[in-house]
Amino acid sequence: MIGIIVAMESELRPFLEFPHTIEKKGSKPFYLIKIANKQVVVVLSGIGKVNASYAATLLIHLYKPKLIISTGVSGGLGILNVLDIVVATKTCQHDVDTSALGDPVGFVSTVNCIYFPTDEKISNEFAKTLNAHMGVLACGDCFVADNKLRDSIANNFDAIACDMESGAIGQVCHIENVPYVALRCISDGAGDNAELTYSQVLQKASALLFEGVIKVIKRMD
């Protein structure tokens, strides 16, 4: 079983082109589909770290996936272009801050690390297939549309993109010892006009990611 986590309806919609059944678990819908004779379950998590963590935990405990794919759109932190694709080498949470206690910004005290590495082999396969950039993906519970915050995230974490779910999913997968990958298509530059660009390219970005995910799943053993 391969698990896929998406945050929004626009990111889910292309997967529903496949015949599917729906199971409601907790408050989340899970869509069971088959891709090239492989069992796949897609969960619509909702936006944000708590939604993502909850969905990832349900997915792991109820469906026992051998791999989790986190896919969706992200801000480019002023480094990449709109519709560029990012495959994370590792993820983190830029809004975790216990620096008043002497910890580095982003340090998650319960697991004692900042970064959550993705599965190297499968991440490289996605990057090759999608002609993607590879680097750190930073997440937090805010839509980044501010130049100062954008630059701070890029500088503090050496990140190339930001989103609202990947680092939380990374933490759950780290705790549960489940391999994961995180893919994002740049919808905006995360700067002062990010919300305008985001609304214009969301559908196209979701379609690009869907096509890449399907290609790689078809090649998997």
Closest CA to 76 of 190, 154, 193, 197: 190
Query: Which positions are annotated as active-site residues?
Result: 11, 188
3-state SS assignment for residue 140? coil
Burial 105-140 (b: 16+ CB within 10 A, else e): bbbbeeeebbbbbbbeebbebbbebbebbbbbbbbb
Closest CA to 79 of 167, 153, 130: 153
DSSP string, 69-125: EEEEEEE-TTTS-TT-EEEEEEEEETT---GGGTPPTT-BTTTTBS-EEPPHHHHHH
Cβ(116)–Cβ(174) under 8 Å?
Answer: yes
